[in-house]
């Protein structure tokens, strides 16, 4: 028989706080077709080390391609993707998806606006030092 001097109650299982505030809601994953469209239509090229390039599609380019009929009207999701392309190997090195960051930024924009410099300014005229 084990020598137990005290029994511990099991800890309650708590939900992760980020899900309580809906900051990490699920987002549709990037598909191979979406990555291919970013590589094809990228208008923002940033050179990186070792012959790599960071490729992005701007919102203006997406609107232009939609007017030409080359992209569907729901393809604004392409602006969230960043593809790192290796020129020498001819392959995708990394795909970064910023959809969650964009969604969280838009949800917290009103909250962040409370601490803007303009909110600290006084409505009264500044007093002259006597």
Burial of 61 (0-12, 13-18, 19+ CB in 10 A): middle
Percent over 90 (pLDDT), the chain = 32
Q: In the structure encoding, which two tokens stand for residue 11, read together?
A: 């800890």
Give the pLDDT mean for 69-87.
Answer: 88
pLDDT of amino acid 25: 52
E strand spans, the chain:
44-47, 52-56, 81-86, 91-97
């Amino acid at each position: 028989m084990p020598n137990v001097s005290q029994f511990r109650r099991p800890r309650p299982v708590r939900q992760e706080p980020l899900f309580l505030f809906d900051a990490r809601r699920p987002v549709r994953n990037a598909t191979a077709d979406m990555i291919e469209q970013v590589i094809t239509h990228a208008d923002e090229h940033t050179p990186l080390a070792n012959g790599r390039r960071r490729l992005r599609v701007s919102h203006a380019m997406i609107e232009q391609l939609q007017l030409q009929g080359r992209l569907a009207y729901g393809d604004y999701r392409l602006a969230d993707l960043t593809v790192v392309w290796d020129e020498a190997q001819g392959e995708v090195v990394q795909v970064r998806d910023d959809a969650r960051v964009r969604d969280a930024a838009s949800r917290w924009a009103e909250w962040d606006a409370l601490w803007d410099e303009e909110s600290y300014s006084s409505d009264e005229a500044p007093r002259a030092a006597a």
